[in-house]
Amino acid sequence: MPVRLFLALLAMFVTGEAAGQVRAIEVLGPRPFGYFIGDVIRLQVDVVLDEPFTLQAGSLPRPRPVTYWLDLKTVAVDDRGINGGLHRYRLALDYQIFYAPLEPRELAIPGFSVTATDGAHRVEANVPAWSFLMSPLREIMPRGTGDPVYLRNDTGPMILPVRRWLSLAIASGIASVLLLGLLAYNRAWWPFSTRRKRPFVQAVRAARRAFRSGSGAEAYRAGLLCLHRAFDATAGRAVLADDLSSFLKTAPAFRPLEPEIGRFFQASRRAFFGADARGAEADLPRTVLIDLGARLAEAERGLS
Amino acid sequence: MVDLSSLFHHSGNRWAGVPLLSVERLKSILLVNTLVVAFAAFTVSGWLAFSAWNDNRVISGLATGRDIAVGDRARPEILLARGQFLMRRGRLDEAQALVPAVRISGDRRVLAAIQYDLANARLRTALRLIEDMKIDQAIPLINLAKDGYRAALSVRPDLWDARYNLDVAMRLVRDFPEIQPSSEEPPQETPEKLWTDLPGLPKGLP
């Protein structure tokens, strides 16, 4: 067994020396038939080298006219790395053919050689030619269409696309106007400058929040305060129980609610100055307070 | 038992210093930002639409035969229209001078188009010269046309009209492997030679 292994290793070593350091070269093309003038053919070349060897970038073919009917357009190298002692490369070459055959004709993309080196030695890797069948684009004798030579037409002028930008401009313009309107409403700019804040709407919300936070006297007082602030904000000054009649003169929309408002101020006085929050709450329960706030909020809509 | 309260306490402290944005403030910021974006889109697209409309007027003006001067930095489509205007008046060299500007613009579609149209103009001129039996003048024009078609196809291989016309031009004057520099003599194209290469011309054929 060890003898066999030794022999196998020796054979590998010997053949490796004999075949040089280039293990394999394979040219993979697309279909080898059915090409017309102007077609681009991508050839893929797989090169396998022994490990220490690397391809010399300078030895690769450069994009250029190869022959009078063949252009090499692009060359790309993909170093696929070293695996199992072998260094693999994949080249991608784009050729464009400009041959005008009169009948189907076999042509060959000529081969080329690339240089590999391990620092001390240089070896040539010869890439073979690749043959394909080229087809004519036109008949040999044109039909009798009048013109001695029929040519395809010019491209004509290229009109720039306007509609796309125009529709985008219209859409974004409408959106801008709408958004500006929304912003003006939000900030109470002209023409919404007469629009007032709705203190009672916010007061009802704040009072609900306050009541939710607890059932004690503090929470009740906080709820009362919310409505007080709404009265102050509506009047533009602090409104006390004694100022109620003058307040209702400036804000007549609240007049139908006068008795309820009076009841609120009484309860408030009892809660804050009488320090009897429980008694005040019995007088004006929370649900009634919220209800009053909601009716005030409804009334304030008629103010502006 | 894990004491979760310390965790909550910690997280509570962490967030205590961060002022929370109120919904109203957030709404306001969002509104302003959206407005800025929408207005920017309106400005840009409006300008693009206007300039495209304006340039289309130049293009259609040139197409209807008005001699409108065009700068090198104009849009490639305008340069193409100018080139086509010059080609219709037989000023092929002036039209050819526009090609570098189109190439700089980087628009491959227009670059292929102007080179294709130029090659067509040259080929048509050459065909007229052949009808007048001025073969020697026609051959260099046909070769230039072939170069133009090849350049157009190199940029846009899917331009089938260029393939077709290149095929026509190549059958008029066939390519041959270039003679190596060892022989100094340039290849002479004789009229007899040309006519053998003109299978597409019915004149003189049975």
Predicted confidence (pLDDT) per residue in B50-98, tens digit: 999 999 999 999 999 999 999 888 999 999 999 999 999 999 999 999 9
pLDDT at res. A147? 63
Give A40's contacts in chain B (Cβ within 8 Å): 157
For B43, residues 6+ apart whose C-beta sits below 8 A from its C-beta are none
The answer to whether the Cβ–Cβ distance between A96 and B153 falls below 8 Å is yes
d(CA A304, CA A196): 6
Supply A279's token pair.
Answer: 């008694």
For residue B68, give the 3-state DSSP assignment: coil
Q: Which of B31, B170, B201 is nearest residue A149 as measured by Cβ atoms?
A: B201
**Chain B residues closer than 8 Å to A135 by CB:** none
Tell me which chain B residues have a C-beta less than 8 angstroms from the C-beta of A169: 42, 45-46, 48-49
Tally C-beta pairs within 8 A across A and B.
158
Question: Could you report the per-residue pLDDT of A86-130, keeping only the tens digit for each?
Answer: 999 999 999 999 999 999 999 999 999 999 988 888 898 999 999
Nearest-angstrom CA–CA distance, B99 and B79: 8
Min mean pLDDT across A132-136, A168-172, A185-189, A225-229 is at A185-189
- Closest residue on chain B to A136 (Cα): B167
| Tokens encoding A263 | 């009841």
3-state SS assignment for residue A203: helix
pLDDT in tens, A274-300: 888 888 888 888 899 899 988 888 887
A96, A141, A180 member nearest B35 (Cβ): A180
DSSP track, B25-49: HHHHHHHHHHHHHHHHHHHHHHHHH
pLDDT of residue A195: 63
- Flag whether pLDDT at A33 surpasses 70: yes
Q: Per-residue pLDDT tens for A191-209?
A: 776 666 678 888 888 888 8
A154 vs B contacts (CB less than 8 Å): 84, 116-117, 120
Gap between the Cα atoms of A91 and A109, Å rounded = 15
Task: Tell me the chain A residues in contact with residue B175 when contact means C-beta distances shorter than 8 Å.
Answer: 68-69, 98
Distance CA B70, CA A268 (A): 83
Q: How confident is the model at residue A148 (pLDDT cuts 50, 70, 90)?
A: low
Q: Which of B29, B30, B34 is the mutation pick for testing A, counting most A CBs within 10 A?
A: B34
Which residue has 């080898």 as its token pair? Answer: A32
Task: Say which range, A92-101, A213-222, B77-86, B185-194, has the weakest mean pLDDT.
Answer: B185-194
Does the pLDDT value for residue B199 go beyond 60?
A: no
- Chain A residues in contact with B88 (beta carbon < 8 A): none
Query: What confidence score (pLDDT) does residue B187 get?
Result: 46
Whether the CB-CB separation of A37 and A98 falls below 8 Å is answered with yes
Q: Quick one: pLDDT at residue A145?
A: 62
Closest by Cβ to A162, choosing from B27, B53, B80: B53
Q: Which tokens belong to B111?
A: 């670059």
Nearest-CA residue of chain B relative to A72? B154
What sign has the CA pseudo-torsion A266, A267, A268, A269? positive
Q: Where are the domains of chain A?
A: 19-134, 199-300
pLDDT at A28: 93
**How is domain A19-134 classified at the CATH fold level?**
Immunoglobulin-like (2.60.40)
Q: Report pLDDT for A155.
A: 92
Q: Which residue has the higher pLDDT, A257 or B119?
A: B119
The minimum CA-CA distance between B200 and chain A, rounded to whole Å, is 6
Across chain B, mean pLDDT equals 81
B175: nearest CB among A68, A156, A175:
A68
pLDDT for A163 equals 94
CB spacing of A138 vs B131 below 8 angstroms: no
Q: Kindly determine whether residue B162 and residue A140, on different chains, have CB atoms separated by under 8 Å.
A: no
Chain B CA closest to residue A171 = B42
Sign of the alpha-carbon torsion through B127, B129, B133, B137: negative
Domains by residue range for chain B, with CATH: 70-175 (1.25.40.10)
Helix (DSSP H) and strand (DSSP E) numbers for chain B:
9, 0
Looking at residues B143-166, what average pLDDT do you find?
Answer: 95
Instruction: Check pLDDT > 50 for residue B9.
Output: no
Tell me how close the Cα of A94 comes to any Cα of chain B, in angstroms. Answer: 11
Mean per-residue pLDDT, A248-252: 85
On chain A, the residues whose CB falls within 8 A of the CB of B45 are: 165-166, 168-169, 172
> Higher model confidence: residue B197 or residue A301?
A301
Mean pLDDT score, A235-262? 86
Give the best-scoring range by mean pLDDT among A8-12, A17-21, B97-101: B97-101
| Partner-chain contact A186 B110, CB within 8 Å | no
Tell me: pLDDT of A217 over 50: yes
Residue B167, token pair as written in the block: 């095929």
In this predicted structure, what is the pLDDT of residue B166?
95
* Gap from B78 CA to chain A (nearest CA, Å): 8
Residue B183 banded pLDDT, cuts 50, 70, 90: very low
Nearest chain A CA: its distance from B164 CA (Å):
7
Q: Name the closest residue on chain A to residue B48, using Cα atoms.
A: A165
Alpha-carbon distance of B6 to A71, in angstroms, equals 76
* Cα–Cα distance measured from residue B31 to residue A182, given in angstroms and rounded to the nearest whole number: 8
Residue B6, min C-alpha distance to chain A (Å): 24
- As given in the structure block, the two tokens for residue A56 are 């010399």
Q: Which is more confidently placed, B168 or B22?
A: B168
The CA distance from A80 to B57, in Å, is: 54
